[in-house]
Amino acid sequence: GESVGLHLPTLSVQEGDNSIINCAYSNSASDYFIWYKQESGKGPQFIIDIRSNMDKRQGQRVTVLLNKTVKHLSLQIAATQPGDSAVYFCAENWGNTPLVFGKGTRLSVIA
């Protein structure tokens, strides 16, 4: 499959700080990107998505940034809370091909 990688496998942040989770992708044809959060013992849950015709999208406390020039995706979490501790996956696809997932980043929030 295509390579969807991460710059950092683990990230520790202080409660209340902002978190930034990064993701690199290699397929320039990818036109859809998505972030998932997986808490311990649960399946991944949708956080936010973005299409390639946008470079930024905001949700509740989360922002996804897409830089197509360098094939880079990031998830920003504002005012990180203990409940944000989880593994975060980025994924991409193009057309109707199935999503290709990255290896995940573990976010640990320090109280």
Partner 1 sequence: DVKVTQSSRYLVKRTGEKVFLECVQDMDHENMFWYRQDPGLGLRLIYFSYDVKMKEKGDIPEGYSVSREKKERFSLILESASTNQTSMYLCASSFRPGGEKLFFGSGTQLSVL
Q: How far is the CB of 16 from partner 1 (least distance, A)?
A: 29
Query: Whole-angstrom Cα distance, residue 28 to residue 25?
Result: 8
Q: Which is nearer to partner 1, 24 or 101 (CB)?
A: 101
- The answer to whether residues 62 and 78 touch, using CB atoms and an 8 Å cutoff, is yes
The nearest distance, CB 42 to partner 1, in angstroms, is 6
Shortest separation between residue 26's beta carbon and partner 1, angstroms:
14
Of 19 and 104, nearer to partner 1 (C-beta) is 104
Beta strands in the chain (DSSP E): 4-5, 10-14, 19-25, 32-38, 45-51, 56-58, 62-67, 72-77, 86-93, 100-101, 105-110
Closer by beta carbon to partner 1, 83 or else 98: 98
Given the rule CB under 8 A, which residues bind partner 1?
1, 4, 9, 32, 34, 36, 41-46, 49, 89, 91, 93, 95-104
Which amino acid is located at 29 in the chain?
A
